[in-house]
Structure 1
Amino acid sequence: MAKGTTEMEVGSDGVAVIYVVNPPVNALSIDVWYSLKRHYEEALQREDVKAIVLTGSGRSFSAGLDVSVFADIHKPEQLKDHCILIEAMTDIFEDAGKPSVAAIDGPALGGGLEISMVCQARISTSNAQLGLTELQFGVIPGFGGTQRLPRLVGLTKALEMMMLSKPIKAEEAHELGLVDAVVSPNDLLNDARRWALDICESKRPWVRALYKTDKLESPEVAREILNSARVQSRKQAANLQHPLVCIDAVEEGIVSGPRAGLRKEAMAFQELFFSGTCKSLIHVFFSQRATSKVPGVTDLGLMPRKVSKVAIVGGGPMGSGIATTLILSHYPVILKEINEKFLNAGIGRIKGRGWLNITSSLPI
């Protein structure tokens, strides 16, 4: 059974709109990638198509690579074949003779943001969230993110976004140059279509993010920024290597050019994909979500039982503090201690706070 797909419609204006369809967040499964490749190649071949808009169905652009892929791919050869396909697709997107514009509403994360960065422009709503969040899964951005993001927002901000795995909002993305315009949800598709046609008619610039250099710092400054990022990474996560690998991939692109950076990124992604760190973090990801779906508990609409009174074992500083809080919330409290001396000391602590008459409120 296919996990997601894409759909394409061509308007009378000559703009092909390709939708990523994989609810609820339009994750990029392998099936989605192959479907996207097929529709994009069709759009390039059709004479009635002048430009392309890439968007997501519903209220999400794409939350990135489908995490279930990590469980479905078991051999390096499988992963390598998929990575070759995706790299070829991003090259086609970026270097095609027809411009493409990403219309972003909701999350554009991980691979979702990476595929948008190969488009010639990005238009978003104020609801958009943009980020490269791969490091939280033990891998690095594997579809060009380590090379294109620094060229769009600058090295310092790009490293921050990748190291923290923290998305930014549309307004900040616009200020940084990651998105070209922020529009209302109702205007998103129409504005993206017009923007794509404007690029086609040379009314707006045709931008290939991989080859931009105006946001990159000088080699000397870049070296300082990269070394500082390494120091910070070692402080925050001394036992994790993949953040340092990410920094190395970024550096390779700055020192040896973006193509060399892409090669290093791809090799590192494929190695990290099968690492123990990646497996552990993916396990944590699925385990956290499993706790919200406990058979016999979360699916039965259970209600908490009414609390009539509370017993506290120990009247030390912590126990007496808890007792005081409960009494102030009008709960009867039973305080239990090992002997009368400690019990009286606990009662004294509660009385000392001046909140209550302990005799009537704390039956022993």
Structure 2
Amino acid sequence: MDFITVKREDMTACIEISRPPANALAQAVLKELSEALDQIENDSGIRVVILCGKGRFFSAGADIKEFVQFREGGRFDEVAVSGQDLFERVESFPKPVIAAIHGAALGGGLELAMACHIRLVTENAKLGLPELKLGLVPGFAGTQRLPRYVGWGKAFEMLWTSEPVSGTEAVKWGLANHAYHEEELLPKAKELAAKIAKQSPLATKAVIELVNLAKTNEYKRGLKQESEMFQTLLSSKDGEEGIKAFIEKREPHFNGE
């Protein structure tokens, strides 16, 4: 692939966006990202994904030059729909996805990061949705995901002013989990990934499904599905191993069965 690199370390796959200078999310980049997810989803040895950007940025957003092409071709829905579909896939991906954000995550870059399950940032990173400066609104579900993390008032403020927040502010606002010095970011992401990778793949996948269901506010449906998931996992080999390891006071060894 030209713009996406996948590096495997133990049970973690690191997806790196490499399209200098700003790692703009052109359609070709989104296509390659989808292909990378295909590879990882089908690899049972990979249990966690880290998504990062090469160079100075995580991603500074969509490729604005492509907007001109879409306008001239009358293909107004192509940009938004393709991005929304891919980011929905990231959010529901059956393996945990951690965004490691440095430099800037703006526009589509932040929308991609918000689709990930966990966001780690550098303290001086810039996170924002500046689409209103173009007379537009975010098209990759930014207006829908941002309020989940920062609340309605802060979402309106970020959208209407187009002003980014720092990594440190993003943690305070609930937009990111942790902020680190730049040299600590990837090591901390890998450390977190390693902790998660030790868990049962069946259980981590179940958590993704249940938490995503909770976002829909279908509480009773969520309770029912949670109960069903608990029963399924309790009867699995991983469930048996986890309980046995606890009783025997040792680390469990999960196989995803």
Fold conserved between structures, TM > 0.5: yes
**Residue 42 (structure 1) shift:** 1.1
Contact 1:110 1:133 in 2 (8 A): yes
Choose 170-179 or 200-209, whichever is displaced more. 200-209
Query: What CA distance in whole angstroms lies between the structure 2 residues aligned with 1:129 and 1:68?
Result: 22
Query: What CA distance in whole angstroms lies between the structure 1 residues aligned with 2:192 and 2:213?
Result: 17
Equivalent position to 1:117, from 101, 114, 124? 114
Correspondence 1:29 to 2:26: yes
Correspondence 1:65 to 2:62: yes
Matches within 5 A, 1:208-227: 208=212, 211=215
Contact 1:101 1:119 in 2 (8 A): yes
Matches within 5 A, 1:174-213: 174-200=171-197, 201=199, 208=212, 211=215
Correspondence 1:129 to 2:133: no
Q: 1:82 to 1:61 in 2, by over 3 A?
A: same
**Equivalent AA in structure 2 for residue 190 of structure 1:** P
**Unaligned 5+ residue runs, structure 1?**
214-364
Find the counterpart in structure 2 of residue 8 from structure 1: 6
Secondary structure in 1 matching 2:55: coil
Matches within 5 A, 1:11-90: 11-12=9-10, 14-73=11-70, 74-76=72-74, 78-90=75-87
**Residue 199 (structure 1) shift:** 4.2
**Equivalent AA in structure 1 for residue 94 of structure 2:** G
**Residue 195 (structure 1) shift:** 2.4
Q: 1:102 to 1:170 in 2, by over 3 A?
A: same
Contact 2:124 2:168 in 1 (8 A): no
Contact 1:50 1:197 in 2 (8 A): no
Contact 1:151 1:212 in 2 (8 A): no
**Equivalent AA in structure 2 for residue 139 of structure 1:** L
Contact 1:148 1:210 in 2 (8 A): no
Report the TM-score, using the length of structure 2 for normalisation: 0.75
Query: What CA distance in whole angstroms lies between the structure 2 residues aligned with 1:7 and 1:159?
Result: 35
**Equivalent AA in structure 2 for residue 16 of structure 1:** A
Q: 1:209 to 1:167 in 2, by over 3 A?
A: farther
| Partner deviation per Cα, 1:328-356 (whole Å, 9 max, x = no partner) | xxxxxxxxxxxxxxxxxxxxxxxxxxxxx
Query: What CA distance in whole angstroms lies between the structure 2 residues aligned with 1:72 and 1:199?
Result: 42
Choose 122-131 or 189-198, whichever is displaced more. 189-198
**Equivalent AA in structure 2 for residue 108 of structure 1:** A
**Residue 126 (structure 1) shift:** 1.3
Contact 1:119 1:208 in 2 (8 A): no
Higher relative contact order (CA 8 A, sep 6+): 2
| Partner deviation per Cα, 1:94-138 (whole Å, 9 max, x = no partner) | 112101010000000000000000100000111210001111011
Secondary structure in 2 matching 1:96: coil
**Unaligned 5+ residue runs, structure 2?**
218-257
Contact 1:148 1:209 in 2 (8 A): no
Q: 1:100 to 1:89 in 2, by over 3 A?
A: same
Query: What CA distance in whole angstroms lies between the structure 2 residues aligned with 1:212 and 1:186?
Result: 37
Taking every aligned residue pair, what percent have the same amino acid on both sides?
Answer: 35
**Equivalent AA in structure 1 for residue 215 of structure 2:** Y
Query: What CA distance in whole angstroms lies between the structure 2 residues aligned with 1:82 and 1:175?
Result: 32
Contact 1:64 1:113 in 2 (8 A): yes
Report the TM-score, using the length of structure 1 for normalisation: 0.54
Query: What CA distance in whole angstroms lies between the structure 1 residues aligned with 2:84 and 2:213?
Result: 15
Find the counterpart in structure 1 of residue 155 from structure 2: 158
Find the counterpart in structure 2 of residue 104 from structure 1: 101
Equivalent position to 1:167, from 164, 168, 180? 164
**Residue 208 (structure 1) shift:** 4.4
**Residue 188 (structure 1) shift:** 1.1
Question: In angstroms, what is the RMSD of aligned CA positions?
Answer: 2.4
Contact 2:119 2:178 in 1 (8 A): yes
Query: What CA distance in whole angstroms lies between the structure 2 residues aligned with 1:83 and 1:130?
Result: 20
